[in-house]
Amino acid sequence: MSTETVIKVGMADLKATVGRNGILRTTGLGSCIGLTLHDAHAGVSGMAHIMLPASEIARERPFNVAKYADTAVPELIRIMKELGAETGRLVAKMAGGAQMFAFVASEAMRIGPRNAEAVKKMLELYRIPLVAEDTGENFGRTIELECATGILVVRSVHQGVKRI
């Protein structure tokens, strides 16, 4: 039995932590993206569970910044910098972005692939390298970031367990 602290990241949520003995976990990644950022030098790790690509479609006011790729990525970086991370040392990993609908009649229904593209665009903007990903396909995932190592554990019914 593990004694590590598990920090749960909900849907349309983001969290960051300092320390090397925790695990950041999110479940239910279908078309959503689970993005992790890790600064090994500072021991700062973060995770966002991103539901949609762009906040321009937000109808709620005020809107949840963690819900959208274009607002979640800068917010996660901001929080991690407050904890001692440096943008230039961050590395990213992500999972999810599945195409959960077999029949796609329009671009608007390509939510998973559009989420993955939007997150990659934001990472490029901040010059954060995406060092590993497990995205696409048509199945859900659960992810855990091991804060001590930066390893992302991806679990799915179809593929079993991957460590990336």
The answer to whether the CB of 67 falls within 8 A of the CB of 52 is yes
What does the pLDDT read at residue 108?
62
| Closest by Cα among 70, 59, 156 to 121 | 70
Ranges 50-64, 79-93, 98-112, 131-145: which has the least confidence? 98-112
105 or 110: whose pLDDT is higher? 110
H or E element: which one contains 42? none
pLDDT at 155 over 50: yes
Q: Give the residue carrying structure tokens 């799915």.
A: 156
Average confidence (pLDDT) over 66-90 = 98
Domains of the chain from N-terminus onward: 5-158 (3.30.1330.200)
Confidence of residue 102 (pLDDT cuts 50, 70, 90): low
Q: What is the dihedral of CA 122, 124, 127, 128, to 10 degrees?
A: 70
DSSP 60: S
Q: Which of 7, 32, 48, 94 is catalytic?
A: 32
Tell me the C-alpha to C-alpha distance, in Å, between residue 96 and each of 3, 32, 55, 64, 146.
27, 6, 19, 20, 18
- Please give the Cα distance from 82 to 63 (Å, whole number): 22
pTM for the model stands at 0.93
Per-position b or e across 88-103, b if 16+ CB within 10 A of its CB = eebbbbbbbbbbeeee
Confidence of residue 58 (pLDDT cuts 50, 70, 90): confident
What does the pLDDT read at residue 1?
42
pLDDT at 109 over 80: no
Average confidence (pLDDT) over 126-130 = 98
What does the pLDDT read at residue 63?
87
Asked if 147 is an active-site residue, the reply is no
What does the pLDDT read at residue 159?
87
Average confidence (pLDDT) over 80-108 = 87
Ranges 19-23, 66-70, 111-115: which has the least confidence? 19-23
